[in-house]
Amino acid sequence: MKNHLNKVIIIGNSGSGKSHLAHQLGSILNTPVIHLDKLFWKTDDFSQKREIEIVYQDISDLIKEEKWILEGVFGDLVNVAISKADTLFFLNKTWGECEEALLKRGPQTSKQKNFQELVIWAGQYWDRKTLSSFEGHKKIFERFQGHKLQFETRVQTDTWLKGLI
């Protein structure tokens, strides 16, 4: 199974556990993790965007490596790397699970400048029609030709991870 985990993409809503899964996989597989938020935003408080051409170039450069794990909600940025990936994870969690995780993280532990706006934006995941929505992620997942897994609960994710160890 680990032979499918050289170039991994993880998508899902904010609070779905993308960073957690990426961190765990990165540790188990000794693979670097690419956080799209860190590439997309100029500042740690997520208040200023970087020039999109530079972000695309950074992603293109990073995915030239032999092994990587890329995680994020940005479907348009995921599309830069999708043709190079061998595995795609779709964390299709309920809003209740995502909201609980976001609120647990909270504005104090999150560097998010406008934390309440993030929670509102994440709650609209199923209503938006962009590539950074449920609909967009579902299309990315359905079209992907490589190895793919969908997790609907944290228990499923954690159980799968334990099977890797």
Q: What is the pTM of this model?
A: 0.92
Confidence of residue 111 (pLDDT cuts 50, 70, 90): low
Confidence of residue 31 (pLDDT cuts 50, 70, 90): very high
Identify the residue with better confidence: 155 or 47: 155
pLDDT of residue 105: 83
CATH number at residue 85: 3.40.50.300
The residue range of the domain holding 55 is 2-164
Give the integer Cα–Cα distance in Å for 165 and 160.
Answer: 9
Give the integer Cα–Cα distance in Å for 2 and 145.
Answer: 17
The total number of structural domains in the chain stands at 1
pLDDT of residue 1: 56
Mean pLDDT within 112-135: 90
3-state percent breakdown (helix, strand, coil) of the chain, nearest 5 = 50, 15, 35
**Residues β-bridged to residue 90:** 11, 150
pLDDT of residue 71: 97
pLDDT higher than 60, residue 134: yes
pLDDT digits (tens, 9 = 90+) for 35-68: 998 888 776 666 677 789 999 999 999 999 999 9
Lowest mean pLDDT among 33-37, 67-71, 124-128: 33-37
Query: C-alpha distances in angstroms, 11 versus 88, 114, 155, 165?
Result: 8, 22, 17, 22
pLDDT of residue 51: 87
